[in-house]
Amino acid sequence: MRSKIIIATAELKEGEYLECVFDNYVEMVKNSVDWAIFCIYQLKPNSLKGVLRILELPNLQIARTNTAGALMYDFIVPEDRINFAILDSVSGKACVDHMKLQTGMIGVMDDHRIYNYMYNGGMKIFDVSLKKGANSQLRDRLAQSQDKYYIDTDRKIALLMESIIDTYGDKAPLSTAVSAQIEMRITEAMMQLTGQQDAKKPRFTQSEKAALAVRKQVFAHMDGNLTTESLAKTHGISQRSLQNGFKSLFGFTPNQFIRLLKLNLVHHDLIQSAPSQLSVSRLAQKWGFTHMGRFSNYYRMLFSEPPSASLKRTNPMPSGIHIDCTARKEEL
């Protein structure tokens, strides 16, 4: 399961702290510290910007991420851990696999599978991963709540995490005693919350379920024949219902979503190639763009440069996402 890891991540020892301001794929991924992040698609201009702050404790890791834009990517929780994510601020639409994310939710995930994460606006999130040595009672409770969520009433957990990061980040590296005190505070707060609430299972409308299935299908099968009409027919709903499901979960229509993914595939191919190897028009046609004027406008709007500039630019990516993330690649 733990495959597709393209970039080696930074390492932290017990009590150490990392803070990173990132504005590109590589900096975002390599500073994720034990998290496997791959298949990143940019969905709005200047989306690859954010701040990452991580505090490593003996049995816990706290990561606070603030992002400004809109992205979709796959990720895996650090190995041999259970993770709970506190959604402190969600300014737009956000979804992890089968879970529609909203401000105040605490989603529980494990390291046994790959999750797909998609959002179309700014996010402020705290991720806390528990190692095997963490409090066994809390681990057992969270293990029974995987892929469900709690509610962070009155932002109690988010405020606790923010206080810890702000207070102890500047004091790192921390002593074992201080680290243990921090872990105890987190454990007690989560034990209280999980003792007061039952974990909730996400619920979706029929159109949202279809949108989730289409996202999974399109993510791995990019060819020139996908349309809202064909996708709606395949999943047994009307085009309007499919559009409503997409807007409800992701903030995009199906057509916008497909176009954004294809633009990313073109972008990655361009920055992986030398100008002598291919032409922009041939590559655009490969991924289903038949009107070069519209293609160029869409591309410039998303990546803030013309396709020809991307082709000439030094490659900032370790490999093309179509190689690692797209199961089918059909030439038109």
Residue 325 has pLDDT above 50, yes or no: yes
**Residue 2 maps to a domain:** no
Contact 194, 148 (CB under 8 A): no
Mean pLDDT rounded to a whole number for the chain? 88
- From 14-23, 219-228, 261-270, 319-328, the region with the lowest mean pLDDT: 319-328
Task: Tell me the pLDDT tens digit for each residue of 133-167.
Answer: 899 999 999 999 999 999 999 999 999 999 999 99
CA pair distance 280, 286, nearest whole angstrom: 10
Sorting pLDDT into bands at 50, 70 and 90, what band is 1?
very low
Do 320 and 182 share a structural domain? Answer: no
Out of 145, 174, 196, a domain closes at: 196
DSSP 277: T
Do 216 and 174 share a structural domain? Answer: no
Do 152 and 101 share a structural domain? Answer: yes
Q: Is residue 77 classed as helix, strand or coil in its secondary structure? A: coil
Q: Considering the entire predicted model, what is its pTM?
A: 0.89
Do 80 and 120 share a structural domain? Answer: yes
C-alpha to C-alpha distances, 265 to 170, 239, 257, 316, nearest whole angstrom: 40, 25, 13, 15
Do 249 and 189 share a structural domain? Answer: no
Out of 152, 177, 196, a domain closes at: 196
* ∠ Cα 61 62 63 (to 5°): 120
Residue 55: its pLDDT value, please?
97
- From 269-273, 290-294, 315-319, 328-332, the region with the lowest mean pLDDT: 328-332
- Domains in the chain, number: 2
**Residue 160 maps to a domain:** yes
Residue 224: its pLDDT value, please?
56
**Residue 235 maps to a domain:** yes
Strands 60-67 and 94-96: unpaired
- Structural domain range at position 58: 17-196
Residue 188 has pLDDT above 60, yes or no: yes
Residue 332: its pLDDT value, please?
38
CA pair distance 118, 143, nearest whole angstrom: 24
Produce one character per residue of 96-127: b if its CB has 16 or more CB atoms within 10 Å, e if not.
Answer: bbebbbebbbbbbbbbeebbbbbbbbbbbbbb
CA pair distance 8, 217, nearest whole angstrom: 28
Identify which has the larger pLDDT, 13 or 10: 13
What CATH number does residue 237 fall under? 1.10.10.60
38 Rama class: left (phi>0) / alpha (psi -120 to 50) / beta: beta
Residue 150: its pLDDT value, please?
98
Out of 147, 173, 196, a domain closes at: 196
- From 126-130, 138-142, 170-174, 225-229, the region with the lowest mean pLDDT: 225-229
Q: Using only C-alpha atoms, what is the Rg of the chain?
A: 21
Measured N-to-C along each axis, helices 176-196 and 156-168 cross at an angle, to the nearest 10 degrees, of 170
Measured N-to-C along each axis, helices 254-271 and 239-249 cross at an angle, to the nearest 10 degrees, of 60
Task: Tell me the pLDDT tens digit for each residue of 276-292.
Answer: 777 899 888 888 888 99
Do 52 and 104 share a structural domain? Answer: yes
Q: What is the mean pLDDT of residues 248-269?
A: 91
What CATH number does residue 156 fall under? 2.60.120.10
Do 227 and 166 share a structural domain? Answer: no
Task: Tell me the pLDDT tens digit for each residue of 117-135.
Answer: 999 999 999 999 999 889 9
Half-sphere exposure of 1 (CA within 13 A, CB side): 13
**Residue 10 maps to a domain:** no
Q: Which residue has the tokens 């990452």?
A: 52
Residue 60: its pLDDT value, please?
94
Residue 10 has pLDDT above 90, yes or no: no
Produce one character per residue of 280-294: b if its CB has 16 or more CB atoms within 10 Å, e if not.
Answer: beebbbbbbbeeeee
Identify which has the larger pLDDT, 6 or 59: 59
The helix (run of H) or strand (run of E) holding residue 128 is strand 123-130
Do 132 and 263 share a structural domain? Answer: no
Do 171 and 47 share a structural domain? Answer: yes
Residue 315: its pLDDT value, please?
58
Residue 306: its pLDDT value, please?
94
Residue 193 has pLDDT above 90, yes or no: yes
Residue 318: its pLDDT value, please?
52
Do 137 and 25 share a structural domain? Answer: yes
